């Protein structure tokens, strides 16, 4: 157990940064009124008529999110470019350096990466900026969008005994039949790896590595592997479960007693964007109560106070665990390298 | 241009020229050399610099003069890199061996046996060429996933105790062997067709049985051609990323190409490491290509001689049905079953198949995956972009090939052999490495090339130029000089002679070169994998992207779409080439009549 983590975590939770699952959270009422968006911005966005959105969030979620945005603002054609986080960052770096960045706005799953790319974002604040807890912000340029909570995705057609704690994943019967996303693939998968080590000790990674888990670059192929029955279960974000359930796949999301780790994706408007007003309008909407409720419906936990947690999130099972940024960023490179070596992954 | 043309004419007729014509010839050669330098040499030079750099081309610290060998040494001594290289040798080597067996069997069956329907089987046996290896790997991953693969569900229903596991060395070798067999088949069939059969006849007269003749006479005669085909197959598979990426990643079997890709896709990307690993791949491939050329051009490989007898066709009796069955089985394995698997998954709502009977639950089938696929504007954009890149690359490539081919084959201009070497150099450079070298060459130069379709065209052109050149120079070499010389005697200039004589009679070669470039440009992803963005995405590139972020149903749907578009566009391209060839061959008659009248 890492002392710094424990202390920071306590501080962090007490600051009620985000989804600390107090009962009051669940009693939040629905939106009473539709938020007003800046009329001038809407007009300017209408003139632009298009938006290029780079994201590392999941494709099904983005499709539903954009559909909801378009039901409100049908005059903006949103082009979603979805890549896993590392190639997304590489693409954005390459394009911005060569002056060919086609993104108007960008959402990354890794706060650390967002911080590194801070210079490509313009100064932007949503109309409800003051409503966001100060601790949820690491820059004035990008804002929390989707709190991706990690659960265990289980194939319910093949598994009868559901896991309830991290150690249940070490059951010898699961050897070779469990999966996980590489912690280097993005902020959310890093959060689950971090929680495992912080909560269960330095040797837990090795114990899980001995289970010979299959490793994935993204939660989508992991979800496919669980849904197909190739794997019995695997660590996956909640937002990856809902689309599979919608298709009728026999999968369930199980929150563990040890905690439900969550990492927040962040978005911002790209400096010099071709469609800056459309980008700002999308950000205005995405960070508004309306937008955050939409995220919640799609499986994201919101850091905006008053937003309901996703209905699929069994909060009584465990406590949402949001890694403190200092630890999240400070440990990332060294621990991921260690993890990769332990799991025989070349990244 | 007239001076240049006149100079080329002079140089064609006389080895030495002087004055302004000689200068014009040198300018022509120089221009082509500059073009090839930008297309081939400069990117490779930048790749080499990249491999000797500490930082990537995007870094402010990058300097082409800050040379060191850290990354080159680092990659060479990195355990994963060494394992990846060893894995590549194992999978590509054994895959080539399997391809050799399959290709040789098909060649023998179609050329030397009385197997019924052998022509059709021979033709259909080339169908795997229309199934990109990446798509093949996806299809076989669906079929041979260890527990829930569709074939394993079927095997499970029969009660048999074994299961397939395509996520393994065997799986990779199998896909390489099956899908690269047509390359061997083309070589082996040509060698069997063209070899002098007198030795076989002598053996038959001496009472040697057909099978013994096959192994003691025929095989040794065509062995150099087979060796050449095998080496080609080996170096081509060595540069393939898709197959080990799909089948080797889960099983933690890195290949040298997936290792390079991982370095590039890392966070942060290791551009210098990727360049360094690429250099080693180029060296290995280069040695393979040199060996292949040596074998191909050695005297031993000459199987085409003045034939006095036609090769004897072996009467197989009842065994001919066995060869027919084996031929059909190959087609089922290579084409039919994988396509059915893709269709099954593409039309199914989700992939979980609880039992054999559940495979036929029609309530689970629908168009949902296709609806999602076409809801994404990149799907149609990728097809449109592929068409633009394919047509542009084919048009530019055929013009460049003709210019190079004509200069190399039909003139005596000094420096033409240098052109030949530079133009064929990329054959030893795997597509993936061309992509990395173009990234190094153009990403940091602010001329607006990176991120455009233009850079995809240039990278494709550079990579596929040698393949097209082979077709072009072969055709140009076959055209006799008499026609050209007759034209000059009549006072016709070089350009007019090219337009009226050379181009019409070599039109089939030009059309073949264009078609080849077109097909390769829209089918392969290696040369463009690191160069595209969301606006310039091509079909195979979108498939790579979908693999990483989408569910298998959508991946399967897009794979089917890609194969359908590939076959459709190739058919259109083939029809255009055929029509233009007819038009081309019709022209010389009129021209010669007019020239004759003028004379």
Q: Which pLDDT tens digit goes with each residue over A63-83?
A: 899 999 999 999 999 988 888
Instruction: Determine the structural domain holding residue B100 and report its residue range.
Output: 52-359
CB contact under 8 A, A229 and B446: no
Which region among A202-216, A263-277, B138-152, B287-301 has the lowest average model confidence (pLDDT)?
A: B287-301
Choosing from B342, B359, B376, the residue where a domain stops is B359
**In chain B, what percentage of residues exceed pLDDT 90?**
29
Instruction: Clarify whether residues B320 and B385 are in a common domain.
Output: no
Using the predicted structure, report yes or no on whether residue B18 has a pLDDT greater than 60.
no
**In chain A, what percentage of residues exceed pLDDT 70?**
87
Instruction: Clarify whether residues B26 and B104 are in a common domain.
Output: no
Using the predicted structure, report yes or no on whether residue B551 has a pLDDT greater than 50.
yes
pLDDT mean across residues, chain A = 83
Using the predicted structure, report yes or no on whether residue B463 has a pLDDT greater than 50.
yes
- The residue ranges of DSSP E strands in B244-361, in sequence order, are none
Using the predicted structure, report yes or no on whether residue A2 has a pLDDT greater than 50.
no
What is the structure's pLDDT at B168? 96
What do you get for the CA distance between the two ends of chain A, in Å? 26
Question: What residue ranges define each of the domains in chain A, with the CATH number in brackets?
Answer: 30-146+265-297 (3.40.190.10), 148-261+313-342 (3.40.190.10)
What pLDDT digit, counting tens, does each position of A26-64 carry?
333 334 344 578 899 999 999 999 999 999 888 888 989
ipTM given for this complex: 0.75
Find out whether B407 and B473 touch, Cβ atoms under 8 Å: no
Instruction: Clarify whether residues B472 and B449 are in a common domain.
Output: yes
Which region among A311-325, B145-159, B465-479 has the lowest average model confidence (pLDDT)?
A: A311-325
Using the predicted structure, report yes or no on whether residue A249 has a pLDDT greater than 70.
yes
Number of domains observed in the structure of chain B = 2
Q: Identify the closest residue of chain B to A91 by CA–CA distance.
A: B533
Using the predicted structure, report yes or no on whether residue A243 has a pLDDT greater than 80.
yes
What is the structure's pLDDT at B202? 83
Across A302-328, average pLDDT: 75
Using the predicted structure, report yes or no on whether residue B15 has a pLDDT greater than 60.
no
Instruction: Clarify whether residues B8 and B130 are in a common domain.
Output: no
Instruction: Clarify whether residues B388 and B323 are in a common domain.
Output: no
**In chain B, what percentage of residues exceed pLDDT 70?**
89
Q: Count of CB atoms within 10 A of residue A27's CB?
A: 9
Which residues of chain B lie closer than 8 angstroms to A79, CB-CB? 377, 534
Ranked by mean pLDDT, the top range of A94-98, B431-435, B536-540 is B536-540
Q: How confident is the model at residue A14 (pLDDT cuts 50, 70, 90)?
A: very low
Using the predicted structure, report yes or no on whether residue B428 has a pLDDT greater than 70.
yes
Using the predicted structure, report yes or no on whether residue A268 has a pLDDT greater than 50.
yes
CATH of the domain at B117: 1.10.3720.10
Q: Identify the closest residue of chain A to B150 by CA–CA distance.
A: A228
Instruction: Clarify whether residues B85 and B22 are in a common domain.
Output: no
Across B11-19, average pLDDT: 47
Instruction: Clarify whether residues B21 and B97 are in a common domain.
Output: no
Instruction: Clarify whether residues B401 and B350 are in a common domain.
Output: no
Using the predicted structure, report yes or no on whether residue A235 has a pLDDT greater than 50.
yes
Shortest Cα distance from A195 to chain B (angstroms)? Answer: 21
CB contact under 8 A, A224 and B353: no
Across B112-135, average pLDDT: 84
Which region among A254-258, A261-265, B288-292 has the lowest average model confidence (pLDDT)?
A: B288-292
Q: How confident is the model at residue B14 (pLDDT cuts 50, 70, 90)?
A: very low
Instruction: Clarify whether residues B282 and B139 are in a common domain.
Output: yes
Shortest Cα distance from B539 to chain A (angstroms)? Answer: 15
Q: Which residue has the higher pLDDT, B79 or A7?
A: B79
Q: Identify the closest residue of chain A to B149 by CA–CA distance.
A: A230
Which residues of chain B lie closer than 8 angstroms to A63, CB-CB? 372, 375
Determine which of B268, B352, B373 to mutate to test the interface with A (most A C-beta atoms within 10 Å).
B352
Find out whether B526 and B432 touch, Cβ atoms under 8 Å: yes
Instruction: Clarify whether residues B72 and B21 are in a common domain.
Output: no
Q: Which residue has the higher pLDDT, A345 or B528?
A: B528
Helix (H, G, I), strand (E, B) or coil at B75: helix
d(CA B431, CA B54): 24
Find out whether A1 and A203 touch, Cβ atoms under 8 Å: no
Using the predicted structure, report yes or no on whether residue A3 has a pLDDT greater than 60.
no
Instruction: Clarify whether residues B31 and B59 are in a common domain.
Output: no
What is the structure's pLDDT at A286? 95
Ranked by mean pLDDT, the top range of A119-128, B195-204, B469-478, B586-595 is A119-128
Measure Cα distances from B459 to A303, B436, B485, B526 in Å: 46, 10, 37, 10
What is the structure's pLDDT at B164? 93
Instruction: Clarify whether residues B417 and B271 are in a common domain.
Output: no
Nearest to A93 among B58, B145, B549 (CB): B58
Choosing from B359, B378, B402, the residue where a domain stops is B359
What is the structure's pLDDT at B88? 96
């Amino acid at each position: 157990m890492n002392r710094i983590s424990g202390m920071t975590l306590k501080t962090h939770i007490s600051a009620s940064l985000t989804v600390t699952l107090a009962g009051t959270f669940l009693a939040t009422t629905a939106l009473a009124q539709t938020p007003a968006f800046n009329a001038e911005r809407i007009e300017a966005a209408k003139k632009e008529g298009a938006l290029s959105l780079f994201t590392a969030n999941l494709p099904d979620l983005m499709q539903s999110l954009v559909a909801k945005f378009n039901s409100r603002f049908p005059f903006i054609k949103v082009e979603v470019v979805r890549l896993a986080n590392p190639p997304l960052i590489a693409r954005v770096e390459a394009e911005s350096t060569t002056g060919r960045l086609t993104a108007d706005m960008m959402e990354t799953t890794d706060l650390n990466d967002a911080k590194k790319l801070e210079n490509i974002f313009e100064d932007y604040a949503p109309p409800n900026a003051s409503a966001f807890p100060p601790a949820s912000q690491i820059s004035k340029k990008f804002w929390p969008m989707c709190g991706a909570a990690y659960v265990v995705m289980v194939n319910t057609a093949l598994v009868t005994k559901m896991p309830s704690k991290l150690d249940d994943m070490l059951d010898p019967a699961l050897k070779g039949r469990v999966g996980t996303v590489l912690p280097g693939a993005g902020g959310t998968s890093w959060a689950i790896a971090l929680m495992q080590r912080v909560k269960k000790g330095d040797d837990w990674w090795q114990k899980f590595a001995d289970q010979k888990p299959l490793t994935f670059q993204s939660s989508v192929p992991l979800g496919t592997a669980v849904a197909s029955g190739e794997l019995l279960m695997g660590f996956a974000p909640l937002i990856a479960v809902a689309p599979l359930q919608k298709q009728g796949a026999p999968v369930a999301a199980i929150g563990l007693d040890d905690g439900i780790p969550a990492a927040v994706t962040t978005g911002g408007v790209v400096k010099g964007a071709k469609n800056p007003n459309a980008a700002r309008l999308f950000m205005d909407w995405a960070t508004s109560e309306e937008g955050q409720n939409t995220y919640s419906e799609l499986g994201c936990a919101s850091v905006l106070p008053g937003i309901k947690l996703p209905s699929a999130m069994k909060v009584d099972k465990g406590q949402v665990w949001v890694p403190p940024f200092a630890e999240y960023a400070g440990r990332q490179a060294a621990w991921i390298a260690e993890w990769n070596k332990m799991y025989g992954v070349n990244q | 241009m007239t001076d240049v043309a006149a100079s080329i004419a002079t140089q064609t007729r006389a080895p030495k020229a002087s004055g302004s014509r000689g200068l014009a010839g040198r300018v022509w050669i120089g221009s082509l050399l500059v073009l090839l330098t930008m297309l081939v040499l400069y990117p490779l030079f930048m790749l080499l610099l990249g491999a000797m750099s500490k930082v990537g081309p995007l870094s402010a610290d990058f300097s082409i003069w800050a040379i060191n060998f850290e990354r080159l040494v680092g990659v060479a001594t990195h355990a994963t890199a060494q394992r990846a290289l060893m894995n590549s040798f194992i999978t590509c080597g054994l895959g080539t061996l399997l391809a050799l067996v399959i290709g040789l069997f098909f060649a023998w069956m179609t050329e030397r046996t009385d197997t019924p329907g052998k022509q059709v089987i021979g033709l259909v046996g080339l169908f795997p060429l229309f199934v990109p290896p990446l798509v093949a790997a996806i299809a076989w991953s669906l079929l041979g996933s260890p527990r829930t693969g569709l074939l394993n569900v079927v095997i499970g229903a029969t009660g048999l105790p074994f299961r397939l596991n395509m996520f393994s060395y065997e799986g990779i070798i199998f896909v390489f062997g099956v899908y690269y067999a047509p390359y061997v088949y083309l070589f082996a069939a040509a060698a069997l067709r063209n070899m002098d059969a007198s030795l076989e006849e002598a053996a038959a007269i001496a009472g040697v049985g057909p099978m013994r003749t096959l192994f003691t006479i025929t095989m040794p005669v065509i062995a150099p051609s087979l060796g050449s085909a095998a080496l080609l197959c080996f170096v081509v598979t060595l540069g393939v990323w898709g197959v080990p990426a799909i089948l080797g990643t889960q099983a933690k079997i890195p290949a040298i190409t997936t290792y390079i890709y991982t370095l590039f896709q890392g966070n942060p990307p290791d551009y210098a490491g990727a360049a360094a690993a690429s250099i080693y791949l180029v060296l290995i491939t280069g040695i393979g290509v040199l060996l292949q050329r040596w074998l191909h051009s050695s005297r031993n490989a000459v199987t085409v001689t003045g034939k006095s007898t036609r090769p004897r066709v072996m009467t197989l009796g009842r065994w001919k049905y066995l060869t027919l069955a084996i031929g059909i089985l190959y087609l089922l394995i290579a084409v039919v079953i994988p396509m059915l698997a893709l269709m099954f998954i593409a039309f199914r709502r989700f992939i979980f198949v609880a039992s054999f009977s559940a495979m036929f639950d029609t309530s689970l089938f629908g168009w949902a995956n296709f609806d999602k696929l076409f809801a994404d504007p990149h799907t149609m954009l990728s097809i449109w972009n592929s068409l633009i890149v394919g047509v542009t690359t084919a048009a530019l490539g055929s013009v460049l090939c003709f210019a190079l081919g004509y200069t190399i084959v039909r003139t005596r201009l000094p420096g033409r052999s240098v052109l030949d070497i530079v133009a064929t150099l990329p054959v030893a450079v795997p597509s993936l490495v061309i992509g990395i070298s173009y990234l190094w060459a153009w990403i940091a130069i602010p001329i607006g090339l990176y991120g455009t379709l233009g850079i995809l065209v240039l990278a494709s052109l550079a990579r596929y130029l040698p393949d097209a050149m082979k077709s072009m120079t072969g055709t140009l070499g076959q055209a006799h000089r008499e026609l050209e010389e007759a034209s000059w005697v009549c006072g016709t200039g070089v350009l007019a002679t090219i337009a009226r004589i050379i181009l019409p009679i070599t039109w089939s070669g030009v059309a073949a070169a264009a078609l080849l470039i077109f097909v390769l440009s829209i089918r392969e992803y290696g040369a463009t994998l690191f160069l595209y963005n969301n606006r310039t995405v091509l079909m195979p590139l979108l498939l790579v992207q979908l693999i990483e972020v989408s569910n298998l149903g959508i991946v399967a749907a897009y794979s089917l779409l890609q194969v359908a578009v590939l076959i459709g566009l190739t058919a259109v391209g083939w029809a255009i080439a055929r029509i233009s060839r007819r038009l081309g061959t019709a022209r010389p008659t009129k021209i010669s009549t007019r020239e004759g009248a003028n004379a």
